[in-house]
Amino acid sequence: MLRTRVIPCLQLIDESLVKTVKFDNHGYIGDPKNTVRIFNELEVDELCFLDIRATVQKREPNFKILSEIANECFMPLAYGGGIKNVKTALKILNIGFEKVAINTAAYENPDLINQISEEAGSQSVIVSIDVKKNWLGKYFVYTNDGRNKVKIDPVEYAQEVAEKGAGEILLTSMNNEGTWEGYDLEIIKKVSNEVDIPVIALGGAGNITHIAQAVKEAGASAVGLGSMVVYQKKGMGVLVNFPEKKVLKQELMLRY
């Protein structure tokens, strides 16, 4: 059984580290390079950076800040935001990132998944899927930083990207993101049960119990943490941190 990964998922807007709530109202967190240094000391499993405005603003990734992050970081890195073609993906991997995450581009050009996978291996390709549940309880996939609702079932879409060569799925609940109220266990379970690749659950974690629920109850292979690792507590100030590993091991038992 694979060890459960607990991954800080950090949001960028160009060179600034930020944090949103339900994909809106972002607050400034700090300098990404300084944050990486802290996570180095905390010995986290890996880091994921997502530039949440690159696609919306129709710009390329900020290669300068990504190079600086890669030079500082001691653990595996993933990056998503503004990746539209194989050339850009390979440039990011050559900078020193181990994985690239694609969201809007994966939906608009599904062959891109296979193209990057063929060039760099499926282990380097994360497909990011943002989901939102409406008042009737139906789930929809959204692209373009949560701005565009697309007519595809999230589970079917997850199966399609897996078949196209994705190595992992980053599954984000737009309803829960930044709320500290826990993951959307229902959609995590639905997707995890129907794909054979790792599913990283993201959106809503507020404590260790939420992490354990996503893994043990919903079947997530890994969990992403946002607010929990950049704030002291809900409603309090910025504090870069990470759960104690002995506590994680105790809650996740032998899977951490």
- Alpha-carbon distance 213 to 183, whole Å? 8
Our CA dihedral for 225, 229, 235, 237, rounded to 10 degrees, sits at: -160
Indicate which residue of 31, 45, 111, 130 is catalytic: 130
Torsion from C-alpha of 173, 179, 183, 185, nearest 10 degrees = -80
196 included as an active-site residue: no
- Catalytically active residues, by annotation: 130
